[in-house]
Amino acid sequence: MQSNQDQVFADFEGDKWFERNMDALERFDPEADFPLRLIELYYLRPGSVLEVGAANGYRLAAISERYGARVVAVEPSVEAILDGESRFPCVEFVRGASAIPLQELFDLIIVNFVFHWIDRDNLLRSIAGIDRLLVDGDFLIIGDFFPSNLTKVRYHHLAEQEVYTFKQNYAATFLASGLYHPVCFITGDHSSKTLMGEAAEDKRIGVWLLRKMLKEHYVEGSFHP
């Protein structure tokens, strides 16, 4: 049976994912988190941060505590939002996923292990929606699986439905536009959550720090059509 993955996660699977992973989120270590390490490594000090697929806002709460930024979480799971509102009052929550019901701009956007869930029908709309919310000249962090080839893996928690994780280099679409520039790229192992250059193909992850630059990088030419 064909499923719209975004609707599946909005209806029930987002809540189930959160329930299964609550214990792991309780053990969150900011010092080992790849997005937070990139923020610190490049001395980013954003005034406003949006995270798409933020669960209960655990990472945003750490960013708010460290840097005093305004932090906004977009999350499909009602259970995650309720938990986050009780734990992390500094985090503002908005329910959403591939479509983001916001208009304001942010200095930093984080999309960590989210793109691989998004229904392929909505992927480019989701990318455009994220781009729409990022200030020109500021930064985007993308973390996800990083196989050598485009790969889809059946989602074993919903074996009766056609739901997949789609593994690919999601930063490539932003970079191909010519409007984003690579600042840093690191690889690691999904199982150990550690930096690793020799992770197995199905466990290798990549985390990109990109900078949005709309016009200033263009070189002036002399040809007039």
| pLDDT, position 159 | 81
Q: Does residue 129 form part of some domain?
A: yes
Residue 213 tokens read as 């630059």
Q: Does residue 156 form part of some domain?
A: yes
Residues 6+ apart with CB under 8 A from 53: 74, 75, 76, 97, 111, 112, 113, 114, 117
Q: Does residue 132 form part of some domain?
A: yes
Domain of 124?
Answer: 5-212
pLDDT in tens, the chain (225 residues): 345 899 999 999 999 999 999 999 999 999 999 999 999 999 999 999 999 999 999 999 999 999 999 999 999 999 999 999 999 999 999 999 888 999 999 999 999 999 999 999 999 999 999 999 999 999 999 999 999 999 999 999 998 888 999 999 999 999 999 999 999 999 999 888 888 888 888 889 999 999 999 998 888 887 766
Residue 55 amino acid letter: A
Residues 6+ apart with CB under 8 A from 212: 131, 134, 135, 136, 137, 138, 139, 140, 179, 180
Q: Does residue 187 form part of some domain?
A: yes
Domains: count for the chain: 1
Whole-number Å distance between alpha carbons of 84 and 112: 17
- pTM recorded for the entire structure: 0.95
Q: Does residue 55 form part of some domain?
A: yes
| pLDDT, position 98 | 84
3-state secondary structure of 73: strand
Q: Does residue 219 form part of some domain?
A: no
| pLDDT, position 3 | 58
Q: Does residue 42 form part of some domain?
A: yes
3-state secondary structure of 40: helix
Whole-number Å distance between alpha carbons of 211 and 179: 8
| pLDDT, position 72 | 98
Evaluate whether 113 touches 142 at the Cβ level (below 8 Å).
Answer: no
CATH code of the domain in which 47 resides: 3.40.50.150
Q: Does residue 222 form part of some domain?
A: no
| pLDDT, position 225 | 65
| pLDDT, position 1 | 39
Backbone angles phi, psi at 127, to 5 degrees: -60, -45
Residue 26 tokens read as 């309780």
| pLDDT, position 2 | 44
Length in residues, the chain: 225
